[in-house]
């Protein structure tokens, strides 16, 4: 499997390809759909971050505003008050690479200055295109996510992905973001209106490799997993791990999850099988 180096801020990088990379979700919010309020206190957030690193997360993704359906928007000042102290403390500890989950240019800039290495934009640069400028100027890794919110989608799930993400990539290029800084995220659950739409996206995920960038999967605890398993959000760790395995086989490089340990183990076994598969004689593959 080809190795691609993901360039990040502060002179850091991640090698993607041969081994899956797990990103631990750290929501410092009162209203996220499955863990709202659990880690809003900075000391609780840091404790959870350390736990996820011990379980195998290479990156901690810190978010200060819920993006669940029907979320209540907050001000940039509120968002920064939640995420910046946690990012600064994580950076001082040096325990893991740090991502900030934001669509605001000012929050992204301040977060990178506080020690974040990656900006994760759930609006794919199409809410505040200035995030591209922040990435270009700081060298931060940039996750560009697809969303179907606040627009008319195309009926074909992959055609809509390609339409949206190509527009986002045009914004990134206009902002002088290097290709080596970019990872794409299909945005499972973000205005994918039905469980079937999410399943279709998962079944056809490998088609997104045509865009030529590393891919992130963010299925963790999503509603379509609950529809298939009958489990409540906090009970969907095993279902999430199953989607991680499927999406690894279909080309995903990074996996953004709440439950780190079970996904690390599931992906380690998947990677071991993939590595072994390359060693088998051609007629036995």
pLDDT of 227 higher than 50: yes
Measure Cα distances from 46 to 26, 89, 93, 258, 264 in Å.
9, 8, 10, 15, 20
- pLDDT score of 231: 97
Q: What are phi and psi of 44, to 5 degrees?
A: -70, -40
- pLDDT range class, residue 265, cuts 50, 70, 90: very high
- pLDDT score of 45: 84
- pLDDT score of 220: 96
Cα distance between residue 55 and residue 62, in whole Å: 17
**Which residue range forms the structural domain that includes residue 257?**
4-284
Number of domains in the chain: 1
- pLDDT score of 283: 65
Cα distance between residue 196 and residue 215, in whole Å: 21
Instruction: Output the CA torsion sign for 27, 198, 194, 221.
Output: negative
Structure token pair of residue 83: 């995420």
Antiparallel, parallel or unpaired: β 13-16 and 4-7? antiparallel
Question: Among this protein's residues, is 248 annotated catalytic?
Answer: no
- pLDDT range class, residue 33, cuts 50, 70, 90: very low
Report yes or no on whether pTM surpasses 0.85. Answer: yes
pLDDT of 267 higher than 60: yes
Place of tokens 């931060």: 140
Cα distance between residue 262 and residue 240, in whole Å: 9
**Contact in structure between 102 and 81 (CB atoms under 8 Å):** no
The 10s digit of each residue's pLDDT in 117-146 is 999 999 999 999 999 999 999 999 999 999
- pLDDT score of 284: 64
Cα distance between residue 87 and residue 114, in whole Å: 6
- pLDDT score of 35: 47
- pLDDT range class, residue 73, cuts 50, 70, 90: confident
Q: What is the CATH number of the domain that holds 64?
A: 3.20.20.20
The 10s digit of each residue's pLDDT in 100-120 is 999 999 999 999 999 999 999
Which of 153, 222, 223, 236 is catalytic? The answer is: 222
Structure token pair of residue 227: 């529809």
- pLDDT range class, residue 39, cuts 50, 70, 90: low
pLDDT of 214 higher than 50: yes
Alpha-helix residue ranges (DSSP H) falling in 95-235: 105-114, 130-138, 157-174, 195-203, 223-229
Average pLDDT estimate for 145-173: 96
Rg of the chain in Å (alpha carbons): 18
Helix (H) or strand (E) holding 25: strand 21-27
- pLDDT score of 285: 59
Question: Among this protein's residues, is 285 annotated catalytic?
Answer: no
Q: What is the DSSP letter of 216?
A: E
Which of 104, 109, 192, 256 is catalytic? The answer is: 256
Structure token pair of residue 80: 């920064």
Q: What separation, in Å, do the N-terminal and C-terminal C-alpha atoms of the chain show?
A: 15
Cα distance between residue 225 and residue 230, in whole Å: 8
pLDDT of 70 higher than 80: no
Q: What is the DSSP letter of 20?
A: -
Higher pLDDT, 246 or 38: 246
Cα distance between residue 92 and residue 256, in whole Å: 23
- pLDDT score of 38: 62
pLDDT of 15 higher than 80: yes
Percent of the chain's residues with pLDDT above 70: 94
């Amino acid at each position: 499997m080809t190795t691609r180096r993901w360039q990040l801020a502060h002179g850091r990088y991640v090698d993607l390809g041969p081994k899956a990379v797990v990103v631990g979700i750290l929501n410092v919010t009162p209203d996220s759909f499955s863990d709202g309020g659990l880690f809003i206190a900075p000391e609780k957030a840091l404790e959870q971050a350390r736990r996820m690193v011990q379980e195998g997360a290479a990156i901690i993704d810190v978010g200060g505003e819920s993006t669940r359906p029907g979320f209540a928007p907050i001000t940039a000042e509120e968002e920064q008050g939640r995420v910046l102290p946690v990012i600064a403390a994580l950076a001082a500890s040096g325990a893991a690479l740090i991502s900030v989950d934001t669509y605001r240019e000012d929050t992204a800039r301040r977060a990178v200055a506080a020690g974040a290495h990656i900006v994760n934009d759930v609006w794919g640069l199409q809410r505040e295109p200035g995030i591209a400028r922040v990435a270009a100027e700081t060298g931060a890794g940039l996750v560009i996510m697809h969303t179907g919110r606040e627009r008319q989608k195309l009926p074909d799930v992959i055609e809509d992905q390609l339409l949206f993400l190509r527009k986002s990539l045009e914004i990134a290029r206009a902002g002088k973001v290097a290709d080596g800084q970019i990872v794409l995220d299909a945005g499972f659950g973000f205005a994918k209106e039905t469980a079937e739409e999410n399943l279709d996206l998962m079944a056809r995920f490998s088609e997104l490799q045509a865009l030529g960038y590393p891919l992130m999967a963010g299925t963790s605890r999503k509603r379509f997993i609950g529809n298939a398993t009958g489990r409540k959000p906090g009970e969907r760790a095993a279902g999430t791990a199953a989607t991680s395995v499927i999406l690894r086989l279909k080309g995903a490089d990074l996996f953004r999850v709440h439950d780190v340990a079970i996904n690390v183990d599931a992906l380690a076994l998947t990677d071991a099988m993939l590595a072994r598969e390359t060693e088998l004689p051609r007629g036995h593959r």
